Structure 1
Amino acid sequence: MSDAHVAASPLEQLVAGHLDAAAGGDRDAYGRIVAACQNPITAIALAIVRDVPASEDIAQEAFLSAWQNLRRLQNPASFLPWLRQITRNLARDHLRARRRRPREVEDADALIESAADPQPGPLGRLAGSEREAVAAELISALPDDSREVLLLYYREGQSSQQVATLLGLSDAAVRKRLSRARQCVRADLLERFGEFARGSAPSVGFTAMVAGALAVASPPAATASVLGGTLAIGGAKTLGKVVAGSAGGLGLGLAGAFAGIYLGLRSQLKGAIDEAERVALVRNAVVSGLASVGFMASLLLIAWLDDGWVLPVLATLVFMGIVFHKSMVVLPRILARRHALEAQRDPVGAARRRRRERINCWIGGIVGFGCGVGGLIVGLVSSGRL
């Protein structure tokens, strides 16, 4: 798909206005670029991988890759085509790593009816993973060159000119691809596909999640790490200095934490089997959010009152203990009834999913523990506490 240049669009003007600052390490400036570009980038990824969670992961990776390599970009006007190509390459790499192809699609209309049903029955509410699989197949049913255009068309208020700007195409090319898609799918079902496209669009939490990841990613210019900067304020002895020195890092940390909690909760609620499970999931997420706020507040208080290393270590261990308990004990207990129902319906598939979830949980726990301890040590050393 070609990336025809569209001169002086509002999006290009926004990017141009913030790109120099972002290349110098300004995370806020880059965050504004992410917010403006998240729709087309996630749509490009979704059109290729046909999986909403995977598309957001790929888009996040694309934004981080671009952030870390901004200084290599010679021409600011090339940023959007460059970012689009990074996304497409990552999405294709994802497909190759997955080593499987979507099944052949026989009936696009039936698939759209299933995936975009506004009032699913009890089975539809239970089988969230199955509905995601159907959504992947309905995207596959669309013409290859129309998937990006159609997804973004509905996400952008059905403006072909806006789609043309975001994808670097001519308005005529966009209209032609939309026409091809309309020939493949009935009009009423196409509108329901539009509901799916709008419902799968990234929320403001996506930008917050990328902003949180920027805090620990290598910047295009040399800047201090957020955790190191937060703990390095131990020498400050007034609350004003503590807040001034750490507010930015703590804000990004909290934004990332709440974005992760929100996105995880949203995914879990899709398959909730009853109101009791929904309440338990929400309560679990609220406790996790309060634990994150408490941890950040404790770092501020410790930095103000104490110059040693014991209290920061204790605060970090307590917080990590809460996180491990919530993810490895409380959450599986909440989902036990759902898992039992899945096991009754598909014992082999359910056992495979539980095994994969356990492996991912342990990998995430080990990586999280290593990153947390590593960041803590860096912060303690840089602040002179160790």
Structure 2
Amino acid sequence: MPVVDLETRSLEGLSVLQSDGELIGAVLRGDRKAFAILVNRYELSVRAVATSVLRDRDLAQDAAQEAFVKAYQNLGTLRKAAAFGPWLLRIARRCALDLVQPYRRVPVPEPEVVEVHHSGLLDEEKERLLAAVLKLGDAERQAVMLRYFGGHSVKEVANITGRGEGTITKQLSRAHRRLRVLLKET
């Protein structure tokens, strides 16, 4: 087996070859590149959580950035490195909830559709799907965003949200039924 020089590997290569625990250890030793890899690895999931709470792309991006800052500042308090993902997503959810507080009395605008970087019919279908997802109730929307947009398993979604796996499964099932109806209407 050839020896691989860690200094010459790209961020993408490192993210695949190193576990969260190894990266967290490196961050705690002062390696900022290791944290960049963690940000790259979890960015979509963090934004999905924030978007599911805020329903606003710009506010969700703000919440995501704040979540990564807080995670970096508090990384030394994390007891188990294997729990980094769910821990980070709970931070993201709290950051998003903190941002939504000042806006509670403001009427909620129509949900924004996230930009899709593909072309043609596929764009329209994705826009319709995302618009339908954003019409779901809070719990169902969050479960769908984490499961399908964030790529998490049902068990991970349950851990992140603090709900039982059975509850998440039921919410996803209800969301599927509701999405079928919403998509037929449009």
Residue 69 of structure 2 aligns with an amino acid whose one-letter code is L
> Could you say which residue in structure 2 is the equivalent of 1:328?
none
**Are positions 1:154 and 2:148 aligned together?**
yes
> Could you say which residue in structure 1 is the equivalent of 2:46?
41
Residue 163 of structure 1 aligns with an amino acid whose one-letter code is S
Give the structure, 1 or 2, with the largest relative contact order (CA under 8 Å, sep 6 or more).
2
> Could you say which residue in structure 2 is the equivalent of 1:118?
124
Q: Give the TM-score normalised by the residue count of structure 1.
A: 0.34
Residue 152 of structure 1 aligns with an amino acid whose one-letter code is L
Q: Give the TM-score normalised by the residue count of structure 2.
A: 0.65
Q: In the TM superposition, what are the counterparts of 1:277-296 in structure 2 within 5 Å?
A: none
Rounded Cα–Cα distance in structure 1 between residues aligned with 2:90 and 2:37 = 20
1:94-132, Cα deviation, whole Å (9 max, x unpaired): 011234355499xx9xx99xxx9829xxxxxxxxxxx9x
State which of 120, 123, 137 in structure 2 corresponds to 1:143.
Answer: 137
> Could you say which residue in structure 2 is the equivalent of 1:163?
153
| 8 Å contact from structure 2 (residues 50, 64) kept in 1 | yes
Shift of 1:74: 3.1
> Could you say which residue in structure 2 is the equivalent of 1:175?
169
Residue 137 of structure 2 aligns with an amino acid whose one-letter code is P
Q: Which runs of 5+ in 1 are unaligned?
A: 1-10, 120-130, 193-386
Rounded Cα–Cα distance in structure 1 between residues aligned with 2:90 and 2:72 = 14
> Could you say which residue in structure 2 is the equivalent of 1:89?
94
Q: In the TM superposition, what are the counterparts of 1:237-248 in structure 2 within 5 Å?
A: none
Shift of 1:73: 2.4
Q: Tell me the number of residue pairs that the alignment of Structure 1 and Structure 2 aligns.
A: 155
Shift of 1:19: 0.7
| 8 Å contact from structure 2 (residues 158, 168) kept in 1 | no
1:110-156, Cα deviation, whole Å (9 max, x unpaired): x99xxx9829xxxxxxxxxxx9xx95x962x3122221221234335
Rounded Cα–Cα distance in structure 1 between residues aligned with 2:183 and 2:153 = 21
Q: 1:138 to 1:177 in 2, by over 3 A?
A: closer
State which of 173, 176, 184 in structure 1 corresponds to 2:178.
Answer: 184
What do you get for the CA RMSD once the two structures are aligned? 3.8
Rounded Cα–Cα distance in structure 1 between residues aligned with 2:173 and 2:154 = 14
Residue 44 of structure 2 aligns with an amino acid whose one-letter code is N
**Are positions 1:30 and 2:20 aligned together?**
no
Shift of 1:82: 2.4
Rounded Cα–Cα distance in structure 1 between residues aligned with 2:93 and 2:24 = 21
Residue 25 of structure 1 aligns with an amino acid whose one-letter code is G
Rounded Cα–Cα distance in structure 1 between residues aligned with 2:33 and 2:61 = 20
Residue 169 of structure 2 aligns with an amino acid whose one-letter code is R
Q: Which runs of 5+ in 2 are unaligned?
A: 1-15, 114-121
| 8 Å contact from structure 1 (residues 18, 29) kept in 2 | yes
- Secondary structure class of the residue paired with 1:37: helix
Q: Decide which structure has greater helix share.
A: 1
